[in-house]
């Protein structure tokens, strides 16, 4: 028993992942453990391994590891590359940086394209690197679809076009840990070779599953790639998955949850899920402007539909503000990572959210700014309300 007094109502978990898990998924996971080599599991395995493809928009294999998203980063690299291989990565923010640090630990040679952490990966900059690579020695381009640390997205379709324009054969690997099932992602159509993801953000599941969707080209590369791999070996997974099984014990409970999550996403319709995220992101940005504060992402082209980083006014610490919000209103906001520590707080608006959960979160921020004595204008919450009501009007009229 904790000595903390009970906090009535629910906690507002407004970080950009993990996200709150809907009741239906909690219930679906509340199952007795089953034999992962038995016929009942086999049906579940076959079902999720097939239906997960619709979320990645791919006909290829989606490999599911019992791991956090970081595991899928590693799986992507070790299955396709060899020690000393040259790759291009983009410093979109903390997650782009962590993936690069991992690649270097594995003995890969990274050309790291810098940004100021206020924008997405630019297709033109990547294309230029590839055009300069006359002997085609670059083996892969790795980008983060939605940089969770900054609230800036990247446009993967444009990056693909740039790679094609350069006529370069490098593999395209994309981290979609915080974008999958919240933002449009088309593994096949965009010519992605490895799409990396995790369970605890847009998929509305607890942490613990990681995914790699693998193109034929990536699979072919894995036949000659020499980085050592054992746990992350795609071959063992693919051969076992063909019958609905796994080479080692899968996270059975989470797979029950995944089955339900995929069903829920299709009941709403993926397109509607994406529109909902765009709407909530716009409401949040209008609130931020209403408060007279600045969104970290400096170009609307790169605005993230799932997370907004808000810059603190000079002389005020974002973590002190977050502490006031947590203690006063029982809401968790995302912290600033690495060089953004203390300078920004992040509002997560992804996963199982609706207009009122977003409004509740924004109200908590506006009251928190007041309580913490952070200089701001009133009217952010009102601006978000006006926007959401305006969007709802034609929808309500049509239903009437
Ligand atoms: C959360 C996140 C990760 C890391 O995932 P873990 O599950 O914490 O290992 C990687 N990339 C992005 C973009 C993320 O948002």
- For 105-138, give one letter per residue: b (16+ CB within 10 A) or e: eeebebbebebebbbbbbbeebbebbeebeeeeb
* φ, ψ (nearest 5 deg) of residue 342: 80, -15
337: CA distance to ligand 1 center in Å?
Answer: 12
**How confident is the model at residue 1, as a pLDDT?**
56
Assess whether the previous peptide bond of 18 is cis (omega < 30° from 0).
yes
Is 95 near ligand 1, meaning CB less than 6 Å away?
A: yes
- Please tell me what DSSP assigns to residue 323: H
151: CA distance to ligand 1 center in Å?
Answer: 13
pTM: 0.97
**How confident is the model at residue 340, as a pLDDT?**
98
192: CA distance to ligand 1 center in Å?
Answer: 19
Which of 178, 346, 349 is the pocket-test mutation for ligand 1 (most atoms within 8 Å of CB)? 178
* φ, ψ (nearest 5 deg) of residue 292: 80, 20
* φ, ψ (nearest 5 deg) of residue 251: -80, 80
Which of 94, 95, 151, 200 is the pocket-test mutation for ligand 1 (most atoms within 8 Å of CB)? 95
393: CA distance to ligand 1 center in Å?
Answer: 37
User: Could you tell me which of 234, 185, 203 has the C-alpha nearest to residue 68?
Assistant: 203
**How confident is the model at residue 399, as a pLDDT?**
87
Contact 201, 307 (CB under 8 A): no
95: CA distance to ligand 1 center in Å?
Answer: 7
Is 94 near ligand 1, meaning CB less than 6 Å away?
A: no
**Structural domains for the chain:** 12-18+270-399 (3.90.1150.10), 23-266 (3.40.640.10)
Is 178 near ligand 1, meaning CB less than 6 Å away?
A: yes
**How confident is the model at residue 2, as a pLDDT?**
65
3-state secondary structure of 57: coil
User: Could you tell me which of 320, 336, 296 has the C-alpha nearest to residue 373?
Assistant: 320
Is 68 near ligand 1, meaning CB less than 6 Å away?
A: yes
103: CA distance to ligand 1 center in Å?
Answer: 15
Distance CA 318, CA 320 (A): 6
**Structure tokens that stand for 134 in this block:** 């006359």
- Please tell me what DSSP assigns to residue 46: H
Residue closest by Cα to atom 2 of ligand 1: 177
144: CA distance to ligand 1 center in Å?
Answer: 10
Distance CA 129, CA 101 (A): 20
Is 69 near ligand 1, meaning CB less than 6 Å away?
A: yes
C-alpha Rg value of the chain to the nearest Å = 22
**How confident is the model at residue 369, as a pLDDT?**
98
One-character DSSP codes across 137-163:
-EEEEEEESEETTTTEE--HHHHHHHH
Which of 75, 96, 175 is the pocket-test mutation for ligand 1 (most atoms within 8 Å of CB)? 175
Q: Which residues, at least 6 apart from 344, have a Cβ–Cβ distance to it below 8 Å?
A: 296, 309, 310, 311, 312, 318, 336
Is 175 near ligand 1, meaning CB less than 6 Å away?
A: yes
Q: Counting beta carbons within 10 angstroms of the beta carbon of residue 35, is it exposed (0 to 12), middle (13 to 18) or buried (19 or more)? A: exposed
Residue closest by Cα to atom 6 of ligand 1: 69
**Structure tokens that stand for 129 in this block:** 């690197």
99: CA distance to ligand 1 center in Å?
Answer: 10
Q: Report angle CA 308, 311, 315 to the nearest 5 degrees.
A: 155
Match 């900059």 to its residue by tokens: 125
Q: How far is CA 399 from CA 149, 276, 386, 392, in A?
A: 39, 18, 20, 11
**Count of positions (residues) in the chain:** 400
Mean pLDDT in consecutive groups of 10 residues from the start of the chain, 400 residues: 83 98 98 96 98 98 98 98 98 98 98 98 98 98 98 98 98 98 98 98 98 98 98 98 98 98 98 98 98 98 98 98 98 98 98 98 98 97 98 90
**How confident is the model at residue 237, as a pLDDT?**
98
Contacts for 28-33: CB closer than 8 Å, 24+ residues apart: 28/256, 28/257, 28/259, 28/260, 29/206, 29/253, 29/254, 29/256, 29/257, 29/260, 31/253, 31/256, 33/252, 33/253
- What's the per-residue H, E or C state across 156-211? HHHHHHHHHHCCCCCEEEEECCCCCCCCCCCCCCCCCCEEEEECCCCCCCCCCEEE
69: CA distance to ligand 1 center in Å?
Answer: 5
Residue closest by Cα to atom 12 of ligand 1: 177
Is 20 near ligand 1, meaning CB less than 6 Å away?
A: no
């Amino acid at each position: 028993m904790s000595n903390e007094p009970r906090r009535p109502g629910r906690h507002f978990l407004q970080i950009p992942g993990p996200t709150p898990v809907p009741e239906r998924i909690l219930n679906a996971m509340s199952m007795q453990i089953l034999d992962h080599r038995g016929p009942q599991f086999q049906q579940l395995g076959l079902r999720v391994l097939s239906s997960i493809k619709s979320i990645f928009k791919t006909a290829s294999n989606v490999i599911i590891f019992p791991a956090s998203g970081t595991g899928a980063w590693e799986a992507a690299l070790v299955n396709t590359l060899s020690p000393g291989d040259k790759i291009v990565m983009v410093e979109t923010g903390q997650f782009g940086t962590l993936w690069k640090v991992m690649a270097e630990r594995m003995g890969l040679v990274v050309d790291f394209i810098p940004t100021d952490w206020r924008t997405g990966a630019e297709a033109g900059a990547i294309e230029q690197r590839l055009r300069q690579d006359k002997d085609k020695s670059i083996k892969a381009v790795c980008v983060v679809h939605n940089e969770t640390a900054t609230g800036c997205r990247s446009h993967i379709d444009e990056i693909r076009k740039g790679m094609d324009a350069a006529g370069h054969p490098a593999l395209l690997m994309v981290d979609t840990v915080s974008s999958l099932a919240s933002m449009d992602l088309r593994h096949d159509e965009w010519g992605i070779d490895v799409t990396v993801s995790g369970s605890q953000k847009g998929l509305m599941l607890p942490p613990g599953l990681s995914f790699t969707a693998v193109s034929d080209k990536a699979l072919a590369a894995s036949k000659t790639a020499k980085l050592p791999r054992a746990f992350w070996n795609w071959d063992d997974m693919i051969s076992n998955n063909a019958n609905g099984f796994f080479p080692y014990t899968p996270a059975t409970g989470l797979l029950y949850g995944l089955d339900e999550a995929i069903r829920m996403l299709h009941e709403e319709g993926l397109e509607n899920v994406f529109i909902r995220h765009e709407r909530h992101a716009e409401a949040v940005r209008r609130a931020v402007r209403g408060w007279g504060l600045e969104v970290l992402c400096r170009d609307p082209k790169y605005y993230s539909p799932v997370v907004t980083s808000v810059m603190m006014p000079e002389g005020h610490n974002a973590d002190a503000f977050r502490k006031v919000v947590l203690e006063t209103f029982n809401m968790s906001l995302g912290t600033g990572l690495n060089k953004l520590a203390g300078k920004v707080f992040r509002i997560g608006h992804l996963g199982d959210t609706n207009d009122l959960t977003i409004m509740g979160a924004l109200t908590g921020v506006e009251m928190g700014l007041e309580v913490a004595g952070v200089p701001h204008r009133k009217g952010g919450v009102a601006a978000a309300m006006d926007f959401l009501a305006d969007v709802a009007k034609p929808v309500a009229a049509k239903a009437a």
